Amino acid sequence: MFAGEPVATILHVKDCATSAVAGRLSAGDASVANANGTASVYATVMENPTSYGWLTQFGSDMAIEKSASLQESHLEYLRDIEAAYG
């Protein structure tokens, strides 16, 4: 959908956000419900600012569990936003 490097990832998603995330899953992606009111979403995410914005809209209702490179890139994106307000 968006330009960028595809990255296989696992997203940790709270139940309140699972339907919004499920609407964006591709055919090869999967979601597994956990017993604690969350889901593990196995997906391919394009590594780019548009995807970071999409991830960020969920606030603390979603976190990047894996990959470490996607976590770091997303944190850098968030730090850049924070610096703009500094």
Quote the tokens at residue 37: 């009111």
Quote the tokens at residue 73: 């890139």
E strands, the chain, where? 5-14, 30-33, 38-47, 62-66
Q: 3-state DSSP call for residue 35?
A: coil
* Mean pLDDT for all residues in the chain: 91
Distance CA 70, CA 85 (A): 23
Quote the tokens at residue 84: 């703009």
pLDDT tens readout for residues 49-82: 999 999 999 999 999 999 999 999 999 999 999 9
DSSP bridge pairs for 45:
7
> What's residue 2's pLDDT?
59
Question: Domains in the chain, start-ordered, CATH in brackets?
Answer: 5-84 (3.30.70)
